[in-house]
Structure 1
Amino acid sequence: MAKTPTKSTIERIRSEDAPRTIGRPSVDSATVGREALIEATCELLKKMPPRKMTRAEVARASGVDPSLIRYYFKNVHLLLIEAAKLFNARYAHKVQLLTKRAGTDPEARLKVRIGALVDLIAEYPYYQRLIVEEILESDDPEAKALMERMTAGGIEGYAAIIEDGVAQGAFRRIDPALLFTSIIGLAEFQTTAHALLNLPRRTTRISTDFRENYKNFIFDLIIQGLRP
């Protein structure tokens, strides 16, 4: 059930929905396309939480006039929904390609899904906040439809792996929906785990070594728990 948007989100959307002149901004930066603005927004999610993102921030990162963002998306909330769609499409494509290489082995297919999500969150630490704050809590029809597709697709993917694992005698039967949500929680906690375990150095960027160690730990934890 969608939550009521926070006051800060409502104020941001209202301010960005203010009347504007009709037509595309007549500035040199207007040559920047819609897709480039979505890409810039995704890049900002490496270092900035979605609710701190403004038209000015995206415009600065893209080198365009803020009015161009309003022209294409109306407000930052709708731009963030498009960013979430792009993340989801890329994740799904990566999982599809790697799953083909994994073949019929349920353990290998499970590792593909877990690894792809851990990699995504390691590269974009604010990805999960984007999904929770701008998609799950949104009343926008496109956000709701995206959330439903992501959830249904994730549960169906894990259900197929579990069924094959049970048939092959590799896994015991469990609830795929709970497996889906548990893996999200483990992958999401990666950024907090990194901060806790690197307090003396105060480093924020997740290193490749830490990511791989964390990934392998989750692999072992989940797969051992699934064995009969």
Structure 2
Amino acid sequence: MVENKRAAKRGKGRPNADKNGVGRDALIKAAIELLQELPPSQVTASAIARRAGGDPALVRYYFGNRERLLLEVAQQIGRGNALESPTEGEPEDLLAEFIHATFRFTRSAHNMQRLMIEELDCTQSPELRESVRDWNRGPVDFYQQVKRLDTEDRLTDYDPLFLHLAVVGISDFFVTGRPLIELLLPEGADMEQLAKDYEAFVKRLLLDGLRTR
């Protein structure tokens, strides 16, 4: 009788995850893995919990809802790839470094840009929208700071927002458009090497276009 009361009490609070050791980090790791494999709409709370080996109620317990879990995933990956706004350095080198960081983020988080767009499109949470806005301001501020450091006018007068959108779109399509890319390549092509070559091409394309003549 005592055990039954304890089980009932536990059911109203924290899900019993001790046996499988499923906590916040395990759920975040599972969500990241699934976002590498599936479109965001299929990365449900149940799918995340199943991959982590726990109860779907854990998503609600640790994060409140699926939206907040996925935002935490995006922020965690973003922090791991983020570059601080520069205070010094050569403008072209800084741009090249940040373009590389964007490509690295896209490769480490397949479907992440698509995730944020889909979540923003359907969310009713002002807090979530503001969090995503703040998180995405980082790259725009970085590009703006590079302009301030360009005291010798080596670069054209670009719009930081437009540059951010261009780099994100160019890097993201290489991931989301992979079925089309593979269709255009010889069978057995080395996609990892192709990704490196594509990034190098994009760097040259953008930097050559931004240099003053």
| TM-score bin, normalised by smaller chain | 0.7 to 0.9
Unaligned runs of 5+ in 2: 1-10
| Structure 1: stretches of 5+ with no match in the other structure | 1-20
Tell me if the contact between 1:136 and 1:144 (Cα under 8 Å) persists in the aligned partners: no
- Once residues 202 and 193 of structure 2 are traced to their aligned partners in structure 1, the CA distance between those partners, rounded to angstroms, is 14
Is 1:26 aligned to 2:51, yes or no?
Answer: no
TM-score under structure 2 normalisation?
0.82
- Following TM superposition, by how much is the alpha carbon of 1:193 offset from its aligned partner in structure 2, in angstroms? 5.0
Q: Distance in 2 between matches of 1:139 and 1:41?
A: 22
Correspondence 1:222 to 2:203: no
Distance 1:88 1:145, change over 3 A: farther
Q: How many residues align?
A: 202
Please give the alpha-carbon distance, in whole angstroms, between the structure 2 residues aligned to 1:196 and 1:161. 34
Does the C-alpha gap of structure 1 residues 192 and 33 become closer, same or farther in structure 2, counting only changes over 3 Å?
Answer: closer
Identical residues among aligned pairs (%) = 31
Equivalent residue number for residue 7 of structure 2: none
- What CA deviation, in whole Å up to 9, does each residue of 1:102-150 have, x standing for no partner? x611111111111111122123221111111124653323321222212
Q: TM-score, normalised by structure 1?
A: 0.77
For 2:94, which of 109, 112, 128 is the aligned residue?
A: 109
State how far apart, in whole Å, the 2-side matches of 1:116 and 1:136 are.
26
Runs of 4+ more than 4 Å apart: 200-203
Separation of aligned partners in 2, 1:105 and 1:191: 30
User: CA offsets per residue over residues 1-53 of structure 1, 9 Å max, x none?
Assistant: xxxxxxxxxxxxxxxxxxxx520112444632212211221121100111111
Who is 1:4 aligned against? Answer: none
Deviations 1:150-177 (A, max 9, x none): 2322211101112323x12321212111
Q: Using a 3 Å threshold, how does the CA distance of structure 1 residues 22 and 202 change in structure 2: closer, same or farther?
A: farther
The CA RMSD over aligned residues, in Å, is 2.7
Residue 147 of structure 1 is matched in structure 2 by: 132
Distance in 1, Cα, partners of 2:32 & 2:19: 19
- Rg comparison, structure with higher value: 2
